[in-house]
Amino acid sequence: MAPLLEVRDLVKHFPLDGGMLTRLLPGRPGRVVHAVDGVSFVVEPGETLGLVGESGCGKTTTSRLILRAIEPTAGRIFFEAQEITGLSPAELLPFRRKAQIVFQDPYTSLNPRMTVERIVGEPILVHRLVASGELRARVRTLLEMVGLQSEHAARYPHELSGGQRQRVGIARALGLGPRLIVADEAVSALDVSVRSQILNLMTALRERLHLSYLFVSHDLSVIRFVSHRVAVMYLGRLAEVAPADELFKRPLHPYTQALMAAIPTIGDGRASIFDQPERLLEGELPNPIDLPRGCRFAGRCPFRFDRCAEAEPELKEVETGHTVACYLYE
Amino acid sequence: MRTLDGLTVESPGVTVPTPAAEPGAAAGIGRWWRRFARSKGAVFGLAVFLAIVVMAVFAGVLAPYDPLTQGVGAPLEKPSLAHWAGTDSFGRDMLSRIIYGARIALIVGIVAVLLALVAGVTLGLVAGYYGGVLDAVIMRVMDALFAFPIIILAIAMMAIMGFGVTNVIIAVGVGFIAPFARVTRGDVLAVKEEPYIEAARLAGIGNLPIIFRHVLPNVLAPIIVQGALRVSGAIITEAGLSFLGLGPPPPTPVWGSMIAEGRNFIVMAPHISTIPGVALMLTVVGLNLFGDGLRDTLDPRLRR
Amino acid sequence: MTEDQSDVILEVRNLVVEFSSEDGPLRAVDGVSFAVRRGEIVGLVGESGAGKTLTSEAMLRLVRCPPGRISGEVRFRGQNLLALDEPALAGIRGKEIAMIFQNPGASLNPVFRVGDQLLEAMRLHLREPARSLRERVGEILGRVGIPSAATRARDYPHQFSGGMAQRVMIGIGISCVPSLLIADEPTTALDVTIQAQVLALLRSLARELGVAVLLVSHDLGIISQMCHRVLVMYAGRIVEEADVATIFRAPAHPYTRGLIDCLPRMDGSARLGTIAGVMPGLRSLPSGCPFHPRCPLAEPRCAEEAPKLRSAGDHHSAACLLVGT
């Protein structure tokens, strides 16, 4: 079966706005931010791919590129075997129905001047998916699906709690009958007890509606919970891609290992990970404008050797389904 | 497309109790009023504004005499029981002229501001939402307009188009476009970055529906406030033009020309200038207080 | 709280913070009592709206009054901070009790050099010649892990990343060698690898200098890895208190238990525990136990009687009627 989504060598460079003068000066190549720098992956039908990384790694940019919210500098995106890069806005409409987004912030992702009914109903109406007489019933069904009651339809966003708002956001995305939902830090702004409700809801909906998720998050424990496969991103490139169980049992890339070592999980209260600074990653993310030659992680990597500074390592399959971009495994 | 009808997913969150529900739209007005009423100035402003509106609407009933008929009293009569505000040099009843003057002041103020609001908001929406060259061109024109003193602009326009209430309205309206365009554009720039706008775009909703359904309602509050505050500016401008003899031609009862006319008799009959002046001042102060109250209670940037 | 009273440096008794509103007074912090001992790291954990930040701010009277009203007692080394006059309190804030906040960028003044801000903080409280204080600037910045500290001291805050800025804030915090450091979500704005560096620094400094830390956080993992003792807050009250091993191994309050069950496990279990509903707002606090509408074990009496903290074991107490019966 063809993958639902395939991304090939996606690149996004944001030009640094040097102002009018530098743009007019001839012969000086503009400096760019390498937000996404050659990323390839697939999402299978019914699968959740977790995209994890720290801020500035390009995971949000990747999610926006996939939805054609921003245009890639290079690379190709296929959805249901059709190339969507290069489609005009009108040609994109069928894709817009099938690929939807759930945002991070439930406070700013809903129009404060609209009722829940209009928020959820508007996309359905615009795509003429139901006759206007049936819209009301459709919205009620959607609200029930996400665990809200029909009485919530008349409310405004500010009358709802954070968790309820996030449910409205999910209902809006589901309204168009999508195959893929990009969840961009969809639970990061929520409190622990509400977060688990939303995570359970999203996994239940996935099974029920046979949805695929691209689940973007900085939180490894959330990624662990929702994902079938996980892609670890560092500074615009994928460091490692593996089935979730496999990755968390045996992280291969030194960055993945460091990331996992840094997560404060609930311990036994005796030893603290913060008492072993030697296990923690040193340094900070390098500047994505002037990247070092070779492996992007080499500067912070405890295992670096000569080769790391020479050329950038490519993702190589080390075991079935487990790929890693690191010279240690070649 | 698969249909979702009939599918219900058991809700893992059990039932979701709603947090302290804030009351709906109707009660929202009640809340707004409670906040608004906290400021005595704002309530005073509103009262003055309403009084002027009543005067303007019911001028025919309220005015004791016809404002244009000469010789209803002796010329330059001081305020008396028969003529509460005295008479002018033609023996016309000043109170009636003031009451009818309110009508013109309000019509010019409100219509001119509405004109400026519609034009300015449209330009601001387009400039802010689409950005780029369009934005640059529109806003530079607005800057030029803004840099021009309104009264000079109006004089120039009146010189071209001639006198009359309509032309005063157009002249003042054009002069007030720039501030509306600026306020609107600034807020549009902020609102268009909100995730709900991106959500609408990613749902395949077109630019025009996004502008009218998503952007405009969220920038409206500061525009309304701006509108309320600008009405007084428009009334002053109109009075200024009339004072200079550029307003509606005589014998139309206009506050500005009444003040101008009274100058000749300022020693003999000071009431002819002063009374319209006081009316103008009350109106402007009232409107400004009301506008300030609106701003303090409506403009989301000042809340919290 | 029975052992070694002499070691207690901070004791909060029945702290109440109220705000007046159109609907009558709202209790955002309701009778909070706890103690912090020398060199101890105490975690104050809860979800947003639980009142944890307000509690820490009220202790130093950083809540604007009015509209707020603070009552109760905050004894710090024998003095009641709530009864001190403003100059006396100012002498304690920043010297004896330091605070660091979530957003380090906003805590530093953008127009002054970082080193000068650190120096200023010391000059405010320490009567030492400027010369010797100036020498300490580089030393402190080095101690909080800022590379080439002497040069970086001459940089402005915008030249620092979030992690580095938070290190500077910690440096300012410890510059006068306080006996208590209040850290309010100090790493919430930081990435996980940077967070780990900053927390490791905090823990080592606390041990080295014998500073007690009150760590306010929503993150149970951080609390578990950082703290010796934990206070769980819900709807303005402390609902459970225990040492860190006990609270995560044998939580007594249903809320604490529910909260822990809500966390995704790294072993990848299929379904998460949930707590139904949301924390009640201040305007709609339920009668009796504030948690009872969401509590899976609630009994009729829970709606009538507000539980007080009661013993649930050694150094372990919980505010639940079902505990100890």
Burial of A38 (0-12, 13-18, 19+ CB in 10 A): middle
Amino acid at the residue B177: I
Same structural domain for residues C68 and C140? yes
Residue range A116-132, pLDDT digits in tens: 999 999 999 999 888 88
Whose CA is closest to C196, among A275, A39, B266? A275
Q: Are C56 and C221 in contact (CB under 8 A)?
A: no
Residue range C248-276, pLDDT digits in tens: 999 999 999 999 999 887 766 667 888 88
- Among the three residues C204, C234, C264, which one is the final residue of a domain in this structure? C234
Q: Is the peptide bond before B251 cis (omega within 30 degrees of 0)?
A: yes
The CATH number given to whatever domain includes residue C59 is 3.40.50.300
In a domain, B32, yes or no: no
Q: Are A206 and A225 in contact (CB under 8 A)?
A: no
In a domain, B16, yes or no: no
- On chain A, the residues whose CB falls within 8 A of the CB of C203 are 272, 274-275
Least confident range from A15-29, A142-156, B198-212, B236-250: namely A15-29
In a domain, C264, yes or no: yes
Give yes or no for residue C35 having a pLDDT over 60: yes
CB within 8 Å: C268 and A199: no
Averaged confidence pLDDT in chain B: 82
pLDDT value, residue B115: 95
Averaged confidence pLDDT in chain A: 90
Domain count, chain C: 2
What pTM does this model have?
Answer: 0.86
Residue A67 contacts B where some CB pair is shorter than 8 Å: yes
Q: Which two tokens mark A110?
A: 């809903």
Burial of B40 (0-12, 13-18, 19+ CB in 10 A): exposed
Interface test with A, best of C278, C282, C294, C316 (most A CBs within 10 A): C278
A241-256 mean pLDDT: 94
C140-145 mean pLDDT: 91
Give yes or no for residue C282 having a pLDDT over 90: no
CA C62, chain centre distance (Å)? 14
Rg of the Cα atoms in chain C: 21
Residues near A15 by Cβ (< 8 Å), separated by ≥ 6? A30, A31, A32
- On chain A, the residues whose CB falls within 8 A of the CB of B1 are 97, 129, 177
Q: Are A226 and A48 in contact (CB under 8 A)?
A: yes
In a domain, C68, yes or no: yes
Give yes or no for residue B250 having a pLDDT over 90: no
Name residues 34-73 of chain B within 8 A of C (Cβ): 34
Chain A to chain C Cβ contacts (< 8 Å): 141
- Among the three residues C234, C264, C295, which one is the final residue of a domain in this structure? C234
C210 φψ region: left (φ > 0), alpha (ψ -120 to 50), beta (else):
left
Averaged confidence pLDDT in chain C: 89
Residue listed under structure tokens 């506008």: B291
Same structural domain for residues C9 and C137? yes
In order of A99, A206, C272, the CA distances from A226 in angstroms are 18, 10, 10
Chain A to chain B Cβ contacts (< 8 Å): 131
Min Cα separation C272/chain B (Å): 10
Give yes or no for residue A168 having a pLDDT over 50: yes
Residue of B nearest to A199 (CA): B12
In a domain, C278, yes or no: yes
Min Cα separation A307/chain B (Å): 43
Give yes or no for residue C228 having a pLDDT over 90: yes
Which of the 8 DSSP states describes residue B210? Answer: I
Of C192, C197, C204, the CB nearest to A218: C192
Q: Show the domain range for C298.
A: 256-325
pLDDT top residue among C45 and B9:
C45
CA distance linking residue B20 with residue C281, whole number of Å: 6
C266-292 mean pLDDT: 83
Interface test with A, best of B7, B8, B194, B196 (most A CBs within 10 A): B196
Residue C48 contacts B where some CB pair is shorter than 8 Å: no
CB within 8 Å: A192 and C262: yes
In a domain, C240, yes or no: no
Q: Are A44 and A4 in contact (CB under 8 A)?
A: yes
Same structural domain for residues C264 and C222? no
A177-198 mean pLDDT: 92
Residue of C nearest to B22 (CA): C283
Name residues 210-229 of chain B within 8 A of A (Cβ): 213-214, 217-218
- Which chains would you list as touching C if contact means 3+ CB atom pairs under 8 Å? A, B
Query: Given the DSSP bridges, would you call strands C79-80 and C212-217 parallel, antiparallel or unpaired?
Result: unpaired
Residue B11 contacts C where some CB pair is shorter than 8 Å: no
pLDDT value, residue B24: 46
CB within 8 Å: C283 and B20: yes
CB within 8 Å: A224 and C199: no
pLDDT top residue among B206 and C128:
B206
Same structural domain for residues C75 and C156? yes
Number of residues in chain A: 330
pLDDT class for A18, splitting at 50, 70, 90? low
Q: What is the CATH number of domain A5-18+31-265+272-329?
A: 3.40.50.300
In a domain, B13, yes or no: no
Residue A152 contacts B where some CB pair is shorter than 8 Å: yes
Give yes or no for residue A276 having a pLDDT over 90: no
pLDDT value, residue B293: 87
- Which chains would you list as touching B if contact means 3+ CB atom pairs under 8 Å? A, C
Same structural domain for residues C272 and C204? no
pLDDT value, residue A25: 55
Residue A122 contacts B where some CB pair is shorter than 8 Å: yes
CA distance linking residue A286 with residue C105, whole number of Å: 19
Residue B133 contacts A where some CB pair is shorter than 8 Å: no
pLDDT class for B12, splitting at 50, 70, 90? very low
Chain B to chain C Cβ contacts (< 8 Å): 25
pLDDT class for B21, splitting at 50, 70, 90? very low
Residue range A306-329, pLDDT digits in tens: 999 989 999 999 999 999 999 999
pLDDT top residue among B85 and A88:
A88
Same structural domain for residues C95 and C151? yes
Which of the 8 DSSP states describes residue C290? Answer: T
Residue range C179-201, pLDDT digits in tens: 999 999 999 888 899 999 999 99
Of A145, A159, A169, the CB nearest to B8: A145
Residues near C159 by Cβ (< 8 Å), separated by ≥ 6? none
With vertex at residue C54, the alpha carbon angle to CA C50 and CA C55, rounded to the nearest 5 degrees, is: 90
Residue B20 contacts C where some CB pair is shorter than 8 Å: yes
Name the 3-class secondary structure at C4. coil
Residue A209 contacts B where some CB pair is shorter than 8 Å: yes
In a domain, B207, yes or no: yes
B219-228 mean pLDDT: 88
Q: Which residues pair with B46 in a beta bridge?
A: none
Residue A136 contacts B where some CB pair is shorter than 8 Å: no
pLDDT class for C283, splitting at 50, 70, 90? confident
Domain ranges of chain A: 5-18+31-265+272-329
CA distance linking residue C154 with residue B234, whole number of Å: 54
Interface test with B, best of A111, A168, A201 (most B CBs within 10 A): A111
CB within 8 Å: B14 and C22: no
Q: Which two tokens mark B171?
A: 């002249």
pLDDT top residue among B161 and A138:
A138
In a domain, C284, yes or no: yes
CB within 8 Å: B20 and C278: no
pLDDT value, residue B30: 80
How large is the ipTM? 0.86
* Burial call B94-111: b when 16+ CB within 10 Å, e when fewer: bbbbbbbbbbbbbebbbb
- On chain B, the residues whose CB falls within 8 A of the CB of A198 are 13
Which of the 8 DSSP states describes residue A240? Answer: E
Give yes or no for residue A1 having a pLDDT over 70: no
Interface test with B, best of C23, C275, C282, C284 (most B CBs within 10 A): C284
Residues near C98 by Cβ (< 8 Å), separated by ≥ 6? C172, C173, C174, C176, C178, C180, C181, C182
Give yes or no for residue B159 having a pLDDT over 90: no
Residue A304 contacts B where some CB pair is shorter than 8 Å: no
CA distance linking residue A204 with residue A187, whole number of Å: 15
pLDDT value, residue B16: 35
CB within 8 Å: B217 and A158: no
B28-54 mean pLDDT: 85
CA distance linking residue C43 with residue A201, whole number of Å: 31
Q: H or E element: which one contains B179? A: helix B177-191
Give yes or no for residue B10 having a pLDDT over 70: no
Name the 3-class secondary structure at A113. coil
pLDDT value, residue A29: 58
- On chain C, the residues whose CB falls within 8 A of the CB of A224 are 264-266, 268
Min Cα separation B269/chain A (Å): 56
Residue A205 contacts B where some CB pair is shorter than 8 Å: yes
Whose CA is closest to C85, among C103, C61, C106? C61
Give yes or no for residue B6 having a pLDDT over 70: no
Min Cα separation A129/chain B (Å): 9
Residue range C59-103, pLDDT digits in tens: 988 887 667 889 999 999 889 999 999 889 988 998 899 999 888
In a domain, B67, yes or no: yes
Domain count, chain B: 1
pLDDT value, residue A7: 95
- On chain B, the residues whose CB falls within 8 A of the CB of A108 are 194-196
A8-35 mean pLDDT: 72
The CATH number given to whatever domain includes residue B173 is 1.10.3720.10
pLDDT value, residue B146: 84
Residue of B nearest to C272 (CA): B12
Q: What percent of chain B has pLDDT over 90?
A: 34
Helices (H), chain C: 52-59, 86-92, 104-107, 114-125, 130-143, 149-152, 162-174, 192-209, 220-226, 244-249, 254-261
Interface test with A, best of C262, C284, C295 (most A CBs within 10 A): C262
Q: Show the domain range for B186.
A: 37-298
CB within 8 Å: A193 and C259: yes
- Which chains would you list as touching A if contact means 3+ CB atom pairs under 8 Å? B, C
CB within 8 Å: B20 and C277: no
Residue B203 contacts A where some CB pair is shorter than 8 Å: yes
Residues near C71 by Cβ (< 8 Å), separated by ≥ 6? C14, C15, C16, C18, C82
Residue of A nearest to C275 (CA): A193
Give yes or no for residue B18 having a pLDDT over 90: no
Name residues 290-309 of chain C within 8 A of B (Cβ): 293
In order of A159, B132, B216, the CA distances from B191 in angstroms are 20, 17, 9
